[in-house]
Structure 1
């Protein structure tokens, strides 16, 4: 892991950009160390510097967590393959014409999970070798990637999932193997995610402790107080 830039922010958070092989990422740490680590991902796998993600990360860091985000393959600063570009073009066309989009999402999100999860585990190895980070570890973000991580990565002890992204069939089956505590956020009027599918997924999780928070509004309308509730959730399980 190589740190490429660093800055002390006004809220006392130390922000550093890093690279780990081909993986670019950002690490936010509080003044106290070592701190429990939260892996944070945008629900659409977008840029690690996406403003809402950065705001969530900095808020968590001010509450005593080390927080890390990476750019997934084909997202953010990373190059897109011809397959990625074709999938995006197919998706835009289908949404514009009202065609079904599930199979397009399946062909796009499924491979993303297969590529991103090993990179998250490699990043986790490197992060936990730093003196300023420690376990236990939490995950907050994209549900499809989070399900796979929760199944294969025993160091993750609690997770917060956003129900607004497509979850491939393989991860819907894997949801039954997820047993860690969960906080599941659902936008009741999410235009891109059928409500019943999200409720069925929540029902599938094998966790004994799982909480569903549903709020009115569309895909990007998750209220900020859910970030604060997420801090309380992680405090119960990581501190």
Structure 2
């Protein structure tokens, strides 16, 4: 596969992704040192939000690692990394409430989350098959395989694009609920916004890389057919 002009943009996007990952870790570590005025730990904040939204049956579990926090929609469990679960920092309660935002999305059947859940089984197959189809297509100059690989890869890109509004909406819900429940003061809103925005940027960067790669493959496919 020859070097394509789109590769320059992909390299830039990849650099943005690395910077975003560095930033989210740096931002989390910075605000992990700032204690929340409420004194709530990540677990306590998450538990209160879940209960306030009628999700008493959704458990919260600690998991090892850093920034491994997530909501499991299959088992309906909020899982918080140990630094988030046990600490009472701005970073901890921000991340914890963000994950509760996903649990609330699940409860109210937030359309984009529903779409992401429905496409997920297909994404697992498509994302695994796409690289092999594309590589085989380019090696053997088989436009049919390239085209099929592009279709499969498009499904994976669609999943990442759908993820963006899901993440932004969860963060928006988290900020609004934290304020409404009195978890943070007006002065602490800035820290919460920085933590959540930094995390969202990693999803934006990942989606951008995939989208540029998809455009590149489509351009190569189109030019090969013209030849």
TM range, normalised to the smaller chain? 0.3 to 0.5
Higher RCO (CA 8 Å, separation ≥ 6 residues): 2
Tell me which protein shows more helix as a share of its residues: 2
